[in-house]
Structure 1
Amino acid sequence: MRAIWKGAIAFGLVNVPVKVYSATEDHDISLHQVHNADGGRIRYQRRCEVCSKVIDYEDIDRAYEDDGRTVVLTREELKSIPAENSHEIEVVQFVPADQLDPMMFEKSYYLEPDSKSPKAYVLLRRALEDTDRVAIVQFALRDKTRLGALRIRDDILVLQSLLWSDEVREASFPALETSIRISAQEREMSAALVDSMASDFEPDQFTDEYQEQLRQLIEAKLDKGESLDTEETFGAPAETGEGEVIDLMEALKRSIEKKRGGTAEAPAKASGPAAKAAPKAAPKTAAKSAVADSAATKRAPTKTATTRTASTKTAADSKAPAAKTARKGA
């Protein structure tokens, strides 16, 4: 166990230094919320309703609202209240244990002596044993002034925080105010039923069946492979403390990395060659065009010479009949 607080019991002029430990713990299986479509983790954010930013815990103060007005209390102002800073467990009176209503009990703490000599601790314990009484104390813990009962359990001083009297509600049910007649036979049968079920209380006989069945269900799903990789249920935070939205490209890279099991640069490498292919394709196409133009240029003169020859031949043929005609005329 780890001490949650240190203080001292003020027992008259006797000072008893102690360490405070939580005497109880919750055995419930811890469950969290996820999106039923993809198993993604659901989280709650401390978001300011004025600026819409996610606020860090260190930038949060407390406030009280009354009749449309809000009073903000800083941490320094709260710490300035003397009772909040007190580390003293003050014994105010000793009372019979049967005068404490179990309804008032809240949470239990173990007290360990925090000094080289536990003599003062043992002295207080003996005083409670000899008088068969419970010490009523006042102390401050976790930003709240509390009332408590100091008693003994297995030679250990136990501090039980109590509710203040105005924190226990009064019960008033009109249905119980009506006159109900119970026959003697009904009372006898009820008493006989109680006797048949009478026993000494042994806490170890009782177990939390729901938690046991819940654990069995979880183990069965694990054995069948019905589980997700925990890292896949954690997404990138939607916003930082300043409310800046995370880069969309970075989120996409991280998603691809998780799916492929590679590095975040894998998508960039995959798209790189495609990006480089376009510039290389352009020169190749230009080269083909240049070759085609060159071939066309080489073919063009040949075709022109042939055309010229044909034209010369045609001109010669047309001149020959004309010469024959001229000679005949002569």
Structure 2
Amino acid sequence: MEQVRNLLIRNVLPIMSPDTMKEESADSFLATFGGYMKQIAAVAKHDSGFALYESNVAPIHEKYGDFFSTVAKITEAAGIKLYAVIYTFVDNYYGVDPSYKTYNANGVANEHYVCPAREPFWAYLKNVTEEVIRFPIAGIILLGNTFVRQEFCFCESCKKEFSAAAGIDESFTWDGLRDNDQLFSKWLDWRAEKMYNALSGIYSVAKKKEGLDFLIGVDIDPEVGYEKGAFRQLGQDVEALSGISGHLLVNINPWSPILPSPGSPEYNMEIEKMRFIDNITARRRKVSFKYWTLINESDFETVKSIANRFKATKIVSDLNFPEKYRIWREAHLSIA
């Protein structure tokens, strides 16, 4: 309890989600900590794929279907700024739907994610966003904006569309793709363009709400390869994505959750690898930082130091590691 209060006093933006609140209700959490809050984030579309509000377009969570609505009502009455969190392509509900499944080159689906290149799913996310902006919110945070790995997605739709764009046979293989530098470069560019277009479409809806802050999450991780790895593995062209709304949310070390101490050689290397952020802020775009949980004092000091170095707008944190963290980590690092 004291750790959460300390985060709020330090103006960290915590994300409320049923699975990271250890069964505590939204009412109880806000009653306990509301007096310390100037701002709070809450999940509206969960990584399970379910809406945590009364949605007309998304499946509604059986147990927590009024979670976000409750938070919105209480924060509005208390004058607390609310940010709505929308998980985009991390979606268990539609991850099993044949229309949206995402496959690797061996035809194996990862049912915790959907294919980010499916335009009908973009339309669905836009409809969800249309509903969310009707709530009294100050901003939206998009998370889960990712392909699983570089060999995704090999669904029939992606194979057909990429083969036409690249001028190759639809029966192309992963080995053939990877061994041809020019073709592989086209593959990476094609995926990143899909991601950019998907998130741009969501923003086109969100910006109808005047003055809305819109943060787009990217994953910068040493084991994935920092900025270049985000592009190569996850389909995230970080600088391009920062230009959509002008506010980038950098998820620090999401899959390598050990933060170096400020001043250490490892810390200095991390700063060096993040210098691409200077190019983004030089364009007068905002950058904020996120870490899974900042309950640990040393982790907070590291993230605060990084945030100060890059003149961050916000520091964002989950209250605990998400339930599916291990599954996501294994998927992105190809451990499983």
Range class of TM-score, shorter chain: under 0.3
Larger radius of gyration: 1
